[in-house]
Amino acid sequence: METSGLHAAPAHAAARGEQKGQLEYRGRGRLASAFFPQARTKVERSNGRFTNDPKCGMLSLMTQAGDERPVSKVIGSRQLTDSTFVLSVERGERQFVAGQHLALGLPGSHESREYSIYSGRMDSPIEFLIKEVDGGLLSKEFAKLRAGDSICMYEPWGAFTLPAPKPGPQKFMFVASGTGIAPFHSFVRTYPGLNYQLLLGVRQGSEAYERDHYDATRFVLCTSRDTQGDCHGRVTDYLKTQPADPNTLYYLCGNYEMIKDVYSLLDAKGVPKDNVRTEVYFYF
């Protein structure tokens, strides 16, 4: 597989609406609207339009009927590690497909960031697994939110979803780095009996993010900085020791480097490109 052109390719892929078998860039809201064609898709898909909104910054999604609905109430949050928490927000009438993400912002700010939906399709409130990023602008502010606070929550979108109408007996391998586990948590909550293996790569065993929510026989934790995981090292170290199944669908979510490395590894093992789907959270 050629990897040298990956930075350039995703925007074109998104423009063609392609997802399967290639790395697709999903830019943050503020960048996407400026540089990436998928921002147009976002508006078209939701039948909405962007307009000025004094409560939630400059960009606010409005329906065609014009009823504004970006502000929601925070229900609470639960701390999973020193820097990672699950934020619960009132769901209202919002519908989504497991695996989708949406942009969150703060009243009075023009900034927003995208977050995969952590909760299941039928769950209420809606939840997000968020890591406070050192030097980051919004994640640290989201960490301060408490029950009753306001948050701007835009419409869900994205095609990092399981085959419709339901996954059936299809085998899945979910590979996550860090909070990239969020869409997989939503899959598992949404589809009981899902035939999956989940591989989570983190630094330390304390980052096993609600491991008890998954079938223990299907969950493998790789820790790179301690030996508390099922596997010591990166997810690629684990995958190198495993046979690849050309009939399994592989979903990769998290940082770009992990996704690039796993993608190349699967390619070398003969997994068809069409069987690999990706969601990139950040590049560096």
Which residue's C-beta sits nearest to ligand FAD?
Answer: 136
Structural Rg of the chain based on CA atoms = 18
Of the candidates 117, 158, 115, 108, the one whose C-alpha atom is nearest the C-alpha of residue 139 is 115
Q: Tokens standing for 84?
A: 């990672």
Which of 249/253 has CB closer to ligand FAD? Answer: 253
182 makes contact with ligand FAD (CB under 6 A): yes
Question: Within 47-86, which residues bind ligand FAD (CB under 6 A)?
Answer: none
CB of 14 to ligand FAD, least distance (A): 11
CB of 217 to ligand FAD, least distance (A): 25
35 makes contact with ligand FAD (CB under 6 A): no
Which of 224/248 has CB closer to ligand FAD? Answer: 224
138 makes contact with ligand FAD (CB under 6 A): yes
282 makes contact with ligand FAD (CB under 6 A): yes
Task: Note whether 277 and 251 are within 8 A (CB).
Answer: yes
31 makes contact with ligand FAD (CB under 6 A): no
Which span sits near ligand FAD by CB under 6 A: 86-94, 136-144, 165-173, 215-223?
A: 136-144
Which span sits near ligand FAD by CB under 6 A: 5-13, 91-99, 129-137, 191-199?
A: 129-137
Which of 57/168 has CB closer to ligand FAD? Answer: 57
28 makes contact with ligand FAD (CB under 6 A): yes
* Residue in 59, 99, 100, 114 binding ligand FAD, rule: CB under 6 A: 114
Which of 48/180 has CB closer to ligand FAD? Answer: 180
131 makes contact with ligand FAD (CB under 6 A): yes
277 makes contact with ligand FAD (CB under 6 A): no
139 makes contact with ligand FAD (CB under 6 A): yes
3-state helix/strand/coil string of the chain: CCCCCCCCHHHHHHHCCCCCCCCCCCCCHHHHHHHCCHHHHHHHHCCEEEEEECCCEEEEEEECCCCECCEEEEEEEEECCCCEEEEEECCCCCCCCCCCEEEEECCCCCCEEEEECCCCCCCCCEEEEEECCCCCCCHHHHHCCCCCCEEEECCCECCCCCCCCCCCCCCEEEEEEHHHHHHHHHHHHHCCCCCEEEEEEECCHHHCCCHHHCCHHHEEEEECCCCCCCEECCHHHHHHCCCCCCCCEEEEEEEHHHHHHHHHHHHHCCCCHHHEEEEEEECC
Question: Within 201-240, which residues bind ligand FAD (CB under 6 A)?
Answer: none
Residues of this chain that bind ligand FAD (CB under 6 A) = 26, 28, 101, 113-116, 128-131, 133, 135-139, 178-179, 182, 279, 281-284
